[in-house]
A and B are shown apart, each in its own frame.
Chain A
Amino acid sequence: MPGLFTVDFTTALIFGAVTAGIPLLLAGLGEQISEKAGVLNIGIEGMMLFGAYTGFLVAFKTDSIWLGFLGGAGGGMLVALLMAIFCVWLGMNQIVIGIALTLGAEGLTALLHHFQFSRTYPRLGAIDSLPLPVISDIPVFGRALFDRHPLVYLSILLVFAMAWLFRNTYVGLNLQAAGDKPAALDAAGVDVYLTRSCAVLATGALAGIGGAYLANVGAGLFLPFMTNGAGFIGLVLAMLARGHPVWVLFGAALFGASLALTTALQVAGLNIPTDVVQMLPFAMVMLVLVIFARHSYLPPALGLPYVRGER
C-alpha cells in the first residue's frame, strides 16, 4: 500500500491521532494523580463518560465550548466525590466501587440522554481552532498539530506542569507519601484522607474534561457509552508511566495514533474486514502490556484504604 500515505492521508492520520489522544492523555494524567496518592481509580471510565455527558449538555445549552469543559470537569468530579466518600473516607474496596461507578455512569448517562433527546443525537456547531503563528504553516504537521483547539495546547502544557509539580512542591511530596507510606504522611501531620480525596477529585476533573473533549470536539455530539474504554486505556497509561507525566504523553500519542489508524484504514477502503481493523487499538494495548508491564511501578499502598493506627 505505498500509495496510501499521501500528504492528505498523513495529515488526516496525525490530526486524528491528536483528536483521539487528548482524552487518553487527560485520563492518564488524572489517573496518575490518584495512583500516586494510593487510590486505584477504576471509576475513571465512569468519570469520563459522565463528564462527556455533562460537558456536552452544558455546551449544548449555553453554546459555549469552554463552559462545556467546565461542565465536564464538574460531572467528572461528581462521580469522583462518590469514589472519595466510599473508598477514601469509608475505606471500602476500590475495585468494587470503581466498577460500580463505571457501570452506574454508563446506565445513568444513557437514561438521561434518552429522556432528554429521545432517539435524536443533536450536534454542536463547528469548533474554532487557534492556529499558532508560523509553525501552523509547516506542511502536514502544521495543520495536524498546531491548528487545533486551545485545549490541546493546554493539555500538553499540563504534562510539564504536573512533572514540575511532582518534583518541586509539597503537594508532590504529599501525594507520593500518601501512596508509598500513608502512615508516615499522617505522622508528619498531613491529613491522608484529605490528600487522597483531593487527588481523586483532581482525577475526576481531568477525566471529565477528557470526556467533554471527546464529546464536544472529537465527535460534536454525545452518544451513550461513547468513551468505549478510553478511561481504562488511561488507567493502563498511568500504570506504565511509573509516575512520570511525560510517559503518559508518549503513551497517549501511541494509542491515539492506533485509534486514528483504525478510522483511516476503514476510510481508505482496504480489503481487510472492519472487525479486524477495529481490534487494532486493543491489540496495541496487549502488545504494550506484554512488552512493558514488567516495568510498571505501583506505589506499595496502592488500593489499600488507610486506617489510622493500623499497620
Chain B
Amino acid sequence: MAMTGQDRAVVPAVAVEGITKHFPGVLANDDISLTFNPGEIHVLLGENGAGKSTLIAILAGMQQPDAGRIRLAEKTVRLTSPRESLAHGIGTVFQHVLLVPSLTVIENLMLGGPWRRRLDRASALARFGELSRILAVSLDPDALVGRLSLGEQQQVEIIRALWQGGRVLILDEPTSMLTPAGVRELGQVMRRLRDQGVAIIFITHKLKEAYEFGDRISVLRLGRTVGEITKARLAAMSEQQATDEVIHLMFGPSATGQTVDAETMAHEGQRRRRATAVDRGQSPFLTVHGLSTTAQPGESALRDVTFEVWPGEILGIAGVDGNGQKQLAEALAGQRPAASGVVALRNTQITHLNVAARRRLGLRYITDERVGEGIVATHSLATNLVLKEIGRAPFWWRGITRWDNIHAHAREKIATHDIRTPSEHTPIGRLSGGNIQKALLARELSTQTGVVIFNKPTYGLDLHNIRTARAAILRGAKAGLATILISTELDELVELCDRIGVMYQGRLSGIVENVEGAEIQIGLMMTGAAAA
C-alpha cells in the first residue's frame, strides 16, 4: 500500500504483520498486514467470509494466528487470551452482546476483577462515572442488563472495552441492531473517543457508514487485504468517489455497476422506492383487530394491534428489536395464543386455529430464528424441506415415509431456488445462513400461500443473499401475496414496502404510507417520540 509521509510519522497503536489463519477447509486470513493509528477511526470493509471476524478474534485474544505477529506500540506481543488483550488496552465490542443479563451494569463491568478480593464497588463506580462522562452517556449502574435496550447494552460494552486503559477499541458491526438515532449517537461516541487518542477499528458492511464515520478505509476480500484508502485521500474524496473505489476493491476490477452485488452496494443508502399498485378497493386479505397477548416474564405483550393487509401489498413493521415484533409474528402464525382480538383471513376467523390449520389456509411465517426455530440442523436438507408436511401425501403414505418423493422434491427446490448444497442429503446445519434462508423460503413460498410473514429475513446475511431474499419478497408480492415484513433495517423497509407501521412497547403506533420523507416520521415513532 502506498503510504504518505504524514502516515509514517505516527506511531501505530497496533499493527498486524503477515497474519495467516487456517481453519479446516478455509484460509480465513491470508498474510494480512494492517496498521491502526491512535486518533483514527479505521473502517474494515468486506463481505461475510472476507476474514474480518477472524482478524478481530485474533486481536481480541480469542484465536491464535498460524503465522504473523501483532505489534503494539512497536513492541511484538502475543495475545493468547482475552485477558491479555484487555490488559494491553485492546477492547472489543462483539457483534453479539456479551453481557450477563442477570447481573447489573456495574456488576458486569466488575466481572473479571481480582478474585481474591471483595467487590470494589466504589472504585468501579468512579471509573464508570469517568467513562460515562467521556462517552457522554447516562446509564443506571444498578439496572439489570437484561432490561436495557440493545443500544444501551452496547454502551455498556463500549465502557467495558475501555475499562483497562483503552488504547484500541474494536467495534464489530455495531450498527446492525441500532435505530437511526442510535447510530448517530454511536457516531458521536466514536468521534469523542477518537479525539481522546483512541485507535478505533470499525467493522461494517454499510458503505454509507464507512464514509460517514471513517478516517481511513481498508477492504478485505477472501482473507486478504485488497486495498486501502488513506486518511488524506479519503478526506479529498466525495461519497460517490469513495463508494466507487470501495466497490472496485471489494468485487474486483470493472465491477462498478455491472454485477448485482456491486449494484446493491452502490445503491445502498439511496432509497429506491418501488412503484406500488395495490388495489385497496377490494376486501383485505388479512384483518387484525384489537389483537393482544398475555405478557411473558421479561418481554412486552402485544397490546391492541389493528391493521389490514391487501393482496399484493407489503406492509412493513419497523421498530427497535424487542418491542413486540416477535409476539406479533407468533400470534399471527398461531404459535402464541391471543388474549383478545380477532385475526381473520378473507372472511374466515382464524384467531383460535392452531399452526397447522392456519398453514392449510395459506398463512406462512418465516422466523428470524432460522437455526433455532426454522430448521432441525442435524437433519438433511430434504427432510427440512418437508418439515411442515409430515405425514401428508405425497411424502408419506399411511405413515410410511416415501424417501424417493422427498428427495425428488428437494432436488426440484434446490434447482428452482438456487440452494447451494453438496446434495439433498447434507445436514442443513452445515449450509451457510444464506442457503438456509433460501431453503426456508422454498419451503414456505409455495403456490398455496396467501399471506406470508417475514421476521427479519435478511438479518445476518451477506449482500448477495440479502439481494436474493429481497427479490424473493418482491416476487411474492407481485404474485399477489399479502406480505408482512418485520425488520429493524429501515433502509430495507423503505426499499420494499407499500406502507410501514412502527411497533413501540407492544403497540402498533401508527401506519404511514411509504412516501418521500416517511423515514423521519418512522424514526421518531421508533423511539416513542411521536405517533402517526
Contacts and interface: CB of A to CB of B under 8 A. Distances in A.
B63 interface: yes
B160 A188 contact: yes
Contact of B99 (A173, A184, A189, A190): A184
A170 B92 CA distance: 22
A176 B103 CA distance: 8
Interface stretch (B80-88, B233-241, B331-339, B438-446): B80-88
Interface string B78-113: 000111111100001010101111110001101111
Contacts of B94: 187
A73 to B, nearest CB: 21
A168 B86 contact: no
Interface string A164-202: 000011111110110011011111111100000000000
Given A168-B118, A168-B119, A170-B117, A188 B111 contact: yes
Interface string B153-167: 000000010000000
A308 interface: yes
Q: Which of A189, A191, A309 has the most CB of B within 10 A?
A: A189
A18 B284 CA distance: 71
A190 B63 CA distance: 16
Given A170-B114, A187-B94, A176 B102 contact: yes
A171 B112 contact: no
A201 B83 CA distance: 24
Contacts of A169: 115, 117-119
Q: Which of A174, A185, A188, A190 has the most CB of B within 10 A?
A: A188
A174 B115 contact: yes
Contacts of B116: 170
Given A173-B103, A177-B111, A183 B98 contact: yes
B57 interface: yes
Interface residues of B, number: 33
A294 interface: no
Nearest to A187: B98
B156 to A, nearest CB: 11
Contact of B111 (A174, A308, A311): A174
B98 A173 contact: no
Q: What is the interface residue range for chain A against chain B?
A: 20 to 34
Chain A interface secondary structure, helix, strand, loop or mixed?
A: helix
A177 B100 contact: yes
Contacts of A184: 98-100, 108, 111
B386 interface: no
A309 B112 contact: no
B266 interface: no
Nearest to B163: A188
A189 B83 contact: yes
A170 B460 CA distance: 35
A194 B118 CA distance: 19
B342 interface: no
B62 interface: yes
B107 A173 contact: yes
Contacts of B57: 309
B110 A173 contact: yes
Contacts of A180: 100-103
A172 B100 CA distance: 13
A86 B110 CA distance: 30
Nearest to B111: A188
Nearest to B109: A188
B377 to A, nearest CB: 13
A188 B103 contact: no
Contact of B82 (A171, A176, A177, A189): A189
A37 B40 CA distance: 40
A181 B145 CA distance: 12
A171 B114 CA distance: 9
B111 A173 contact: yes
A185 B101 contact: no
Contacts of B100: 176-177, 180-181, 184-185
Contact of A189 (B81, B102, B103): B81
Given A189-B82, A308-B62, A309-B63, A170 B115 contact: yes
A311 B57 CA distance: 14
Contacts of B111: 170, 173-174, 177, 184-185, 188, 190
B102 A170 contact: no
Interface in A218-237: none
A190 B102 CA distance: 18
Contacts of A187: 60, 82, 92, 94, 98
Interface in A253-310: 308-309
A178 to B, nearest CB: 9
Contact of A170 (B60, B63, B96, B110): B110
B146 to A, nearest CB: 10
B96 to A, nearest CB: 6
B103 A309 contact: no
Contacts of B112: 170, 185, 188-190
A173 B119 contact: yes
Interface in B61-79: 62-63
Contacts of A181: 98-101
Contacts of A176: 100, 102-103
A184 B112 CA distance: 10
Nearest to A308: B62
Given A176-B100, A190-B112, A170 B119 contact: yes
B113 A170 contact: yes
Nearest to B112: A188
A186 B117 CA distance: 19
A177 B100 CA distance: 6
Nearest to B102: A180
A180 B101 CA distance: 8
Contacts of A183: 98
A168 B118 CA distance: 6
A180 B103 CA distance: 9
A187 B103 CA distance: 15
A185 B57 CA distance: 16
Interface string B354-389: 000000000000000000000000000000000000
Interface in A56-112: none
B31 to A, nearest CB: 22
Interface string A145-178: 0000000000000000000000011111110110
5 contacts: A173-B119, A187-B98, A189-B86, A190-B83, A309-B62
Given A169-B117, A169-B119, A185-B100, 19 more contacts: A170-B116, A170-B117, A171-B115, A173-B111, A174-B115, A177-B111, A180-B103, A184-B99, A184-B108, A186-B62, A188-B112, A189-B81, A189-B82, A189-B84, A189-B87, A189-B112, A190-B111, A191-B81, A311-B96
Interface of A: 168-174, 176-177, 180-181, 183-191, 308-309, 311
4 closest A-B pairs by CB: A189-B83, A188-B112, A188-B111, A187-B98
